[in-house]
Amino acid sequence: MTFDLTPEQDQLRDAVRALGRRYGHGYFVEKAKADEHTTELWAEAGRLGYLGVNIPTEYGGGGGGITELAIVCEELAAAGCPLLLLVVSPAIAATVINRHGTEDQRKRHLPGLADGSQKIVFAITEPEAGSNFHRLGTVARRDADGWLLSGRKCYISGVDEADHVLVVARTEEAGTGKLKPALFLVPTDAAGLTRSKLDMEILSPENQFLLYLDDVRLPADALVGESLDAGLPALFAGLNPERITVAAMGAGTGRYAIERASEYTAARKVWGGRSIGSHQGVSHPLAHAAVQVELARLMIQKAATLYDAGRDLEAGVAGNMAKYAAGEAAALAVDTAVQVLGGAGMTTEYGVATLLGAVRAGRIAPVSREMILNFVAQHVLGQEKSY
């Protein structure tokens, strides 16, 4: 057992940290408030190869795994730039296309995902189905010319920045009427695809959208994979990378908040010569949050290691636990940071309250804490399925 990163991973961590710090939380907030995107940071991260660390070298990537991508997500977040689209585009979309796409789809999309010139977002959530993806209502119908997609999706991140949406639909099998999931690469400018931006209480340069698909016509090769049988495995292929990288983003955000808060409490003096951090009522909550973040980081490392070793089932358990732990730890860390900064905690300048919405959302999305507890109860504790 080793808890050390390889020298290459260490270098990656240092380099991404340096890039993130060059932009910093001020840049992230400024972009969010101006209703702009972190275009410059994304482009630079792409040029430096950080967005494609998990993509095979033959398609222009770094040839690493989810461990490397988790490092990128964590370090950018630890610098105050938690980029949700890292979870969607390189983690989910690139993994799904690499593992289950056709060779033509790999050639068409992976190089652009690797250098950041392409973004592919992911649409599974629907207003009616919610957490229960078995109730998906978006339907794909096959005809002589290809596919027709109809349905609605909600809370879809980054549609305004992406050139494609990876849409999860269900297909009606001729004859049996049986329904099974399938994934489609839908260009964001496809006729029949419209969107409306949701007003979210999250300070973020990345936006969420309602998507309407009204008989969106797609060519036959928009279906991910060689046949409809690729649908279910392709969908599951995206879940572990999603959970692990979103957990890494949470852990990074937690580290960022604790670092800001610790600097402040070590320097701030309101009772004579002693810092407020010398009072255990201030330092203990921070120390407690630091323990929770560090525990989450361990589980992230375990989940990523298992995933990269091809042990998908074990990675599923560890990835869900890591996502749960990091989601809770990030929310605790940011809330604690706000508290120990006092009034400064609520200002934009000190850059911690700016993350409250994002970490709160991290306990709901991309999978809620309750659905993870359902998973653990059923698959780890052997309890009867509760829903």
Ligand X SMILES: Cc1cc2nc3c(=O)[nH]c(=O)nc-3n(C[C@H](O)[C@H](O)[C@H](O)COP(=O)(O)OP(=O)(O)OC[C@H]3O[C@@H](n4cnc5c(N)ncnc54)[C@H](O)[C@@H]3O)c2cc1C
Contact residues toward ligand X (CB under 6 A) are 88, 121-125, 130-131, 155-157, 202, 208, 361, 364-368, 370-371, 374, 387
Whether the Cβ atoms of residue 350 and residue 341 lie closer than 8 Å to each other = yes
Nearer to ligand X by Cβ, of 198 and 291: the residue is 198
Nearer to ligand X by Cβ, of 110 and 367: the residue is 367
Q: How far apart are CA 54 and CA 126, in angstroms?
A: 29
Nearer to ligand X by Cβ, of 231 and 277: the residue is 231
Least distance to ligand X, CB of residue 358, Å: 8
* Residue where the block lists tokens 């200002």: 347
Nearer to ligand X by Cβ, of 146 and 212: the residue is 212
Least distance to ligand X, CB of residue 292, Å: 20
- The DSSP secondary structure of 300-361, one letter per residue, reads HHHHHHHHHTT-HHHHHHHHHHHHHHHHHHHHHHHHHHHHHTGGGGGSTTTTSGGGHHHHHH
- The DSSP secondary structure of 273-302, one letter per residue, reads TEEGGGSHHHHHHHHHHHHHHHHHHHHHHH
SS3 167: strand
Nearer to ligand X by Cβ, of 157 and 253: the residue is 157
> H-helix or E-strand containing 113?
helix 103-115
Least distance to ligand X, CB of residue 213, Å: 13
Least distance to ligand X, CB of residue 156, Å: 5
Is the peptide bond between 181 and the residue preceding it cis, with omega within 30 degrees of 0?
no
Q: Which segments of the chain are extended strands (E)?
A: 120-123, 139-143, 146-157, 164-172, 179-187, 193-197, 208-218, 269-271, 274-275
**Greatest alpha-carbon span in the chain:** 81
Least distance to ligand X, CB of residue 299, Å: 20
User: Of 207, 201, 239, whose CA–CA distance to 367 is shortest?
Assistant: 239
Nearer to ligand X by Cβ, of 143 and 201: the residue is 201
Structure tokens at 66: 């989810």
Nearer to ligand X by Cβ, of 19 and 83: the residue is 83
Nearer to ligand X by Cβ, of 54 and 208: the residue is 208
Least distance to ligand X, CB of residue 44, Å: 23
Q: How far apart are CA 94 and CA 73, in angstroms?
A: 15
Q: Work out whether the CA dihedral 335, 337, 338, 340 comes out positive or negative.
A: positive
DSSP state of 223: B
Least distance to ligand X, CB of residue 104, Å: 25
Nearer to ligand X by Cβ, of 210 and 344: the residue is 210
Nearer to ligand X by Cβ, of 59 and 209: the residue is 209
DSSP state of 381: S
Residue nearest to ligand X (CB): 130
Angle at 19 between CA 15 and CA 21, to 5 degrees: 115
Least distance to ligand X, CB of residue 118, Å: 16
Least distance to ligand X, CB of residue 181, Å: 13
Least distance to ligand X, CB of residue 188, Å: 13
